[in-house]
């Protein structure tokens, strides 16, 4: 993927962020996931008054892709107003589907803040190979 493709995903994540449901934290998060087949899935954080039932944007995008039969990912963008990083739960879900997936963290102005792999984001991740 080149810089223009990265920017396209960043823009999609920021557009999705506008649809986030965050009435409690007011921390709106959008995600855009590109699969290895080239399909793109977006996600937003969805809060709930019973806080443990809140779902992060990254997991929404990943679960949408998996529900459509996609399990090999190329890149995921996480966009927040301040370039916040994925939580531990999201890092673990990302690790399930590939440590080489590119993770892009962007701010609300569409600027790339960080680029790394899932492996760099979650070193020594617990993966399916540990269950053998």
Strand arrangement of the beta sheet that strand 73-79 belongs to? 40-44, 30-35, 73-79, 102-106, 112-117
CATH of domain 3-131: 3.40.140.10
* Contact between residue 124 and residue 91 where contact means Cβ atoms under 8 Å apart: no
* Contact between residue 121 and residue 103 where contact means Cβ atoms under 8 Å apart: yes
For residue range 80-112, list pLDDT tens digits in order.
999 999 999 999 999 999 999 999 999 999 999
Mean pLDDT on 44-69: 97
- Cα 46 from Cα 104, distance rounded (Å): 21
Helix axes 57-67, 88-96, angle to 10 degrees: 20
With a threshold of 0.85, does the pTM exceed it? yes
Active site residues: 58
Confidence of residue 1 (pLDDT cuts 50, 70, 90): confident
């Amino acid at each position: 993927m080149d810089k223009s493709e990265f920017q396209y995903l960043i823009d999609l994540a920021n557009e999705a962020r506008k649809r986030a449901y965050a009435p409690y934290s007011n921390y709106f998060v959008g995600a855009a996931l590109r699969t290895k087949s080239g399909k793109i899935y977006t996600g937003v954080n969805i809060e709930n008054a019973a806080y443990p039932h809140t779902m992060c944007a990254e997991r929404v995008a990943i679960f949408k892709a998996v529900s459509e039969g996609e399990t090999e990912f190329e890149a995921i963008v996480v966009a927040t107003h301040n370039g916040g990083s994925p939580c531990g739960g999201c890092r673990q879900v990302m690790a399930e589907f590939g440590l080489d997936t590119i993770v892009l963290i962007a701010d609300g102005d569409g600027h790339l803040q960080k680029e790394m792999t899932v492996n760099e984001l979650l070193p020594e991740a617990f993966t399916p190979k540990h269950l053998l």
